[in-house]
């Protein structure tokens, strides 16, 4: 084959590849639009099929991958520990991670990080959930929810082993750990070594959430819970225990007051007049 003929053949192949690539991208956009329409109508399985076809046609279609991940996440059922459900959750996480690997813009990055953090939390993979919530906080320092989520995880990691240890001791919920009892003191010391760093971190994170959103009543509620965790581990210091419980009670009062103020503000905004007590 003459050189000119070879060049012409290669050029023809190149044009064909470009045309096929362009055609695939158009088809991918069409599948993306169909998926969005199905998603808006809560037809998630249909949407997933369209989004999957879109990314198969155009692997670099970032919005297609983000929509696919989000639709898969909506199909995941928290608490349903079975193979099919866990597979869907992992597929959603994998797609969110693929979006992150494509170096997305700020909003797409934060959406993906939050999606992964939420899925890991619901799958009870708390260490991974905490890691990705920290990444959310780093990407968006003004997001209180990431700090709140870490605080909730810290409470969970403290509460569960403490309650298991108390159950083995046969303690009632209202009974504090007693340092005068050798076995109880041993349990208290062990829990304190393990849980105090987690409790301290949780308190710090929830306070960070409140610095960003001062009326974050859910964060206040968990501060109450974390101070009660701390109090139960002050088994050899009654004064410290009493102080922690007083702080916890203070957060209960603040939580209730904040919820009441929000309810009154909402009622006022919607024009609802609360019934006045009869004289």
Domain of residue 133, CATH code:
1.25.40.10
- The answer to whether residue 185 is domain-embedded is yes
- The answer to whether residue 20 is domain-embedded is no
- The answer on 175 and 91 residing in a single domain is no
- The answer on 35 and 128 residing in a single domain is yes
The CA distance from 242 to 265, in Å, is: 35
- The answer on 113 and 177 residing in a single domain is no
Q: Quick one: which of 158, 151, 107 has its CA closest to 133?
A: 151
Q: Give the domain-ending residue among 84, 116, 140.
A: 140
- The answer to whether residue 10 is domain-embedded is no
pLDDT for position 20: 45
- The answer to whether residue 74 is domain-embedded is yes
Show the domain range for 164. 142-262
Q: Give the domain-ending residue among 117, 140, 163.
A: 140
Tally of domains within the chain: 2
- The answer on 242 and 200 residing in a single domain is yes
pLDDT for position 148: 98
Q: Residue 207 is encoded by which pair of tokens? A: 């306070």
- The answer to whether residue 17 is domain-embedded is no
- The answer on 155 and 88 residing in a single domain is no
- The answer on 163 and 77 residing in a single domain is no
Residue with tokens 């909402």: 266
Q: Residue 13 is encoded by which pair of tokens? A: 């192949």
Burial class (CB in 10 A: 0-12, 13-18, 19+), 98: middle
- The answer to whether residue 248 is domain-embedded is yes
Residue with tokens 């108390």: 166
Burial class (CB in 10 A: 0-12, 13-18, 19+), 116: buried
Higher pLDDT, 250 or 44: 250
Which positions ≥6 away from 177 have C-beta within 8 Å? Answer: 166, 169, 171, 184, 185, 187, 188, 232, 233, 235
Task: Check pLDDT > 90 for residue 28.
Answer: no
Among the ranges given (26-40, 49-63, 136-150, 265-279), the one the predictor scored with the smallest mean pLDDT = 265-279
Q: Give the domain-ending residue among 140, 165, 182.
A: 140
pLDDT for position 139: 96
Under 8 Å between Cβ of 93 and 113: no
- The answer on 120 and 90 residing in a single domain is yes
Task: Check pLDDT > 70 for residue 8.
Answer: no
- The answer to whether residue 278 is domain-embedded is no
pLDDT for position 88: 96
- The answer to whether residue 79 is domain-embedded is yes
- pLDDT category of residue 92 using cuts at 50, 70 and 90: very high
């Amino acid at each position: 084959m003459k050189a000119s003929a070879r060049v012409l053949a290669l050029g023809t192949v190149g044009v064909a590849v470009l045309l096929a690539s362009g055609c695939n991208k158009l088809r991918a956009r069409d599948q993306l639009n169909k998926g969005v329409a199905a998603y808006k109508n809560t037809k998630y399985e249909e949407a997933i099929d369209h989004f999957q076809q879109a990314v198969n046609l155009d692997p670099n279609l970032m919005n297609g991958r983000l929509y696919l991940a989000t639709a898969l996440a909506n199909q995941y059922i928290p608490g349903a520990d079975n193979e099919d459900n866990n597979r869907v959750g992992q597929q959603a996480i994998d797609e969110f991670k693929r979006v992150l690997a494509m170096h997305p813009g700020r909003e797409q990055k934060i959406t993906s990080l939050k999606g992964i953090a939420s899925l890991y939390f619901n799958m009870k993979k708390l260490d991974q959930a905490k890691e990705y919530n920290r990444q959310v906080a780093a990407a968006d320092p003004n997001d209180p929810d990431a700090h709140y989520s870490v605080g909730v995880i810290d409470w969970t990691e403290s509460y569960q082993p403490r309650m298991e240890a108390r159950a083995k001791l046969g303690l009632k919920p209202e009974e504090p750990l007693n340092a005068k009892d050798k076995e109880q003191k041993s349990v208290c010391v062990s829990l304190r070594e393990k849980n105090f760093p987690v409790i301290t971190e949780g308190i710090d994170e929830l306070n960070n959430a409140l610095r960003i959103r001062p009326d974050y009543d859910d964060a206040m509620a968990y501060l109450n819970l974390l101070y009660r965790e701390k109090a139960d581990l002050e088994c050899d210091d009654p004064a410290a225990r009493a102080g922690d419980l007083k702080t916890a009670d203070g957060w209960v009062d603040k939580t209730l007051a904040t919820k009441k103020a929000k309810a009154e503000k909402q009622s006022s905004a919607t024009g609802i007049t609360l019934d006045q007590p009869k004289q």
